A and B are shown apart, each in its own frame.
Chain A
């Protein structure tokens, strides 16, 4: 089946720095990708919908200026956590549908730890 990758798989950064997480669809094109956040022992919460060639759509309560999303191509979406703080430490997972009506594939996740 289709594959979605994320890079890095694990990142530790100091408070106040910015971290970029990449989500790639390896063998298919994705005009839409989704970003989720999962806190320890909790469920996945949708953060935003990334749209190729246009602005991302953010869920209520998600700061768009803090979580910058860029869908630069049909195979790449990036999530940049700006001025990261310890409360941003989480597991970030992206997903992409192979086409608007086909199965959605999840990336393996990126664990962010902010010291």
Chain B
């Protein structure tokens, strides 16, 4: 069975501050992990993914995430928040990239000017 927990349904940061969005997963097999961003009334945009190899994954728009097997975590970070980062962020787990995804409940990021 696979599941994802995102701690914090709402996160607010000041513009220029560090962004940290938390994701913990549960998986009976080595997981594939993803972060997606969703803007209002739009579909999902892939930020980054971990499949195998290097545990620190860099994505688009300056985001990165680190796979920590011992902590079953895949937290998303960005050193300096931008106003355009305000959106809903979803963490997801899958058995592989072609299988169904299991999504976390999402974290709404607000960036304060």
Contact = CB atoms under 8 A, between A and B. Distances in A.
B102 A46 contact: yes
Contacts of A44: 44, 90, 101, 103
Contact of A34 (B41, B46, B101): B101
User: Which of A43, A93, A102 neighbours the largest number of chain B CB atoms within 10 Å of its CB?
Assistant: A43
A95 interface: yes
A101 B42 contact: no
Contact of A102 (B44, B94, B98, B102): B98
Interface in B75-106: 90, 94, 96-106
Contacts, number: 52
Nearest to A44: B103
B97 A107 contact: no
B97 A106 contact: no
Interface size range on A against B = 20 to 34
B53 interface: no
A50 to B, nearest CB: 11
Interface string B42-62: 111010010000000000000
A44 B49 CA distance: 18
Given A43-B90, A111-B41, A99 B102 contact: no
B106 A100 contact: no
Interface of B: 36, 41-44, 46, 49, 90, 94, 96-106
17 contacts: A36-B103, A43-B90, A43-B104, A43-B105, A43-B106, A44-B101, A95-B101, A97-B99, A100-B98, A101-B97, A101-B98, A102-B98, A103-B49, A104-B98, A104-B101, A106-B43, A107-B43
Given A42-B105, A46-B100, 11 more contacts: A32-B98, A43-B104, A43-B105, A46-B102, A49-B100, A98-B98, A100-B96, A100-B98, A102-B97, A102-B98, A103-B49
